[in-house]
């Protein structure tokens, strides 16, 4: 990694591994579902490739880990940091509803086409199609409620990282959560509204890296591409 990368704190976003509901396109918010065998394999693969001393996600550089309290996220975190050599046992871990999946309310367990049909039978969306980013969920969370809790978490993360912007102690942060809420977090990190038109794909078990441009707390950014640590660094681990 570059000298600049070594100085600038990062935030890693990891989506939990595959579940049967996610696989079938069902909106999964508060319901606790298990990872599939494929989902478990996805997390193990990610852990093997990117977690460890000298690797992209180096536990020795983690200052704090935030995990959604939902079972699928907790299990993903456990699998990701399951190696005794990961060093995660020495890191502060917080399970928080602030990074739980969007509460889908009446739409829990439904597929998108089922939600659209349900809303139209109730006389909704006559002039424009339903957009969860903008319209939220009946009986669940609104865009503003989601924004409020993510902004609260972002403020907490920046307080952790603020004293470490110029090469102080390591202050990377890891979030283990869900597909939709992590994409919302991505937008809020950049100062964008949750309903901003920004198409994103975040596959189960995928990892996103956020940071700050020019080592400046007032310029939150994301890595379009990131240079991986040199092979010899990983081999020393």
In DSSP terms, 61 is beta-bridged to none
CA separation for the pair 192, 204 (Å, rounded): 24
Structure tokens at 128: 């424009």
CA separation for the pair 34, 76 (Å, rounded): 10
Note the helical H segments in the chain. Answer: 3-7, 20-23, 37-50, 71-80, 112-121, 132-135, 143-161, 179-189, 231-236
Options 16, 18, 64, 178, the catalytic residue: 16
Cα separations in angstroms, 34 against 100, 103, 137, 183, 188: 15, 18, 24, 21, 28
Instruction: Count Cα atoms within 13 angstroms, Cβ side, for 143.
Output: 13
84 confidence band (pLDDT: 50, 70, 90): low
CA separation for the pair 67, 85 (Å, rounded): 20
Which residue in 25, 8, 21, 45 sits closest to 207, CA to CA? 45
Specify whether 178 is catalytic. Answer: no
Q: What is the CATH number of domain 3-236?
A: 3.40.50.1240
Is residue 104 marked as binding?
A: yes
237 pLDDT exceeds 90? Answer: no
Which whole number is the average pLDDT over 73-84? Answer: 88
Specify whether 16 is catalytic. Answer: yes
Is residue 101 marked as binding?
A: yes
C-beta neighbour count of 117 within 10 angstroms: 12
Q: Which residues 6+ apart lie within 8 Å of 37 measured at CB?
A: none
Question: Nearest-5° angle of CA 6, CA 92, CA 189?
Answer: 60
Structure tokens at 198: 């920004």
pLDDT tens per residue, range 131-168: 999 999 999 999 999 999 999 999 999 999 999 987 77
Q: What is the pLDDT of residue 87?
A: 57
Q: How much is the pTM?
A: 0.91
185 confidence band (pLDDT: 50, 70, 90): very high
CA separation for the pair 137, 129 (Å, rounded): 13
Is residue 29 marked as binding?
A: yes
Options 18, 34, 97, 101, the catalytic residue: 101
Is residue 102 marked as binding?
A: yes
pLDDT tens per residue, range 45-54: 999 989 988 8
C-beta neighbour count of 148 within 10 angstroms: 13
Instruction: Count Cα atoms within 13 angstroms, Cβ side, for 37.
Output: 0
Give the domain ranges of the chain: 3-236
Q: What is the pLDDT of residue 6?
A: 60
């Amino acid at each position: 990694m570059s000298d600049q990368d070594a100085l600038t704190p990062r935030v890693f976003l990891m989506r939990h591994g595959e579940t049967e509901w996610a696989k079938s396109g069902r909106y999964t918010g508060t319901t606790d579902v298990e990872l599939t065998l494929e989902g478990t394999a996805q997390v193990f693969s990610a852990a093997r490739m990117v977690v460890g001393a000298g690797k992209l996600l180096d536990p020795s550089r983690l200052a704090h880990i935030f995990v959604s309290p939902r079972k699928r996220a907790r299990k993903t975190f456990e699998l990701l940091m399951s190696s005794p050599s990961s060093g995660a046992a020495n890191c502060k871990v917080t399970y928080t509803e602030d990074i739980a999946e969007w509460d889908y309310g009446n739409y829990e367990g439904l597929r998108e086409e089922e939600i659209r049909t349900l809303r139209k039978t109730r006389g909704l969306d006559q002039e424009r199609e339903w957009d969860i980013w903008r319209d939220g969920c009946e009986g669940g969370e609104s865009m503003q409620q989601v924004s409020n809790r993510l902004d609260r978490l972002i403020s907490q993360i920046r307080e952790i990282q603020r004293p470490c912007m110029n090469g102080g102690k390591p202050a990377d942060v890891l979030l283990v959560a869900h597909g939709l809420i992590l994409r919302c977090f991505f937008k809020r990190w950049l100062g964008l509204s949750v309903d901003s038109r920004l198409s994103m794909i975040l596959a189960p078990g995928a990892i996103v890296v956020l940071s700050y441009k020019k080592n400046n707390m007032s310029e939150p950014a994301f890595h379009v591409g990131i240079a991986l640590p040199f092979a010899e660094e990983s081999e020393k681990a």
